[in-house]
Amino acid sequence: MPDKETLERAHEDAREGKSPSTQAGEFVREEMDHIREGKHGAASTKQAIAIGLSKARRAGVKLPPPSKGKVSAKTRAQAERDSQKGRSHNRRKPSAKRSRATSQALKKEGRTAASHQSLSKQARSIARQRGSAARHRSAMKAVRTKGASGRRQSARKAGRARSRSARG
């Protein structure tokens, strides 16, 4: 079950009209925090992200399942089930045995999946798969949904990054 703060932040993103992937990002961030504080581990960064996305779908974030051909049929079906669980109101209590087994298995995994290096590597590899047009579209959408203060903040950050890269 996600933390109360995570749910609140995701609901706030939804109210502000931010995309489902942005809302789901709150759950992924929570997952990374759990790994960093030693609550459990993950076999890979991809798995840690997948756990966060699954929690987001189950919490009702309208995140579509990955498109055909991107992932296995099994993963797609699981994403569909998670979304279904997020939409239904007759929630069954999860199996204690199964929950415990999952927790124990994750506790045995390493903690490097949430390291800054691993996350950076993952982000770069995924960005390489997207075309420049897709990146441009998402940047333009960010401009529309950010608001004045958000744009100012982003411009400052970009300026800092540019001055850093110019130095060395």
Domain ranges of the chain: 1-87+114-129
Distance CA 88, CA 95 (A): 18
Q: What pLDDT sits at residue 93?
A: 86
In the predicted model, residues of the chain with pLDDT beneath 50 are none
The answer to whether residues 58 and 85 touch, using CB atoms and an 8 Å cutoff, is yes
Residues facing residue 68 across a β-bridge: 71
Residue 157: what pLDDT? 92
The Cα 141–Cα 133 span in angstroms is: 12
Burial zone of 4 (CB within 10 Å; 0-12 exposed, 13-18 middle, 19+ buried)? exposed
- pTM for the whole thing? 0.78
Is the separation of the CB atoms in 59 and 10 below 8 Å? yes
For residues 166 and 168, give the distance between their C-alpha atoms in angstroms, rounded to a whole number.
6
Per-residue pLDDT reduced to its tens digit, 87-102:
988 878 889 999 999 9
Contact of 38 with 63, CB cutoff 8 Å: no
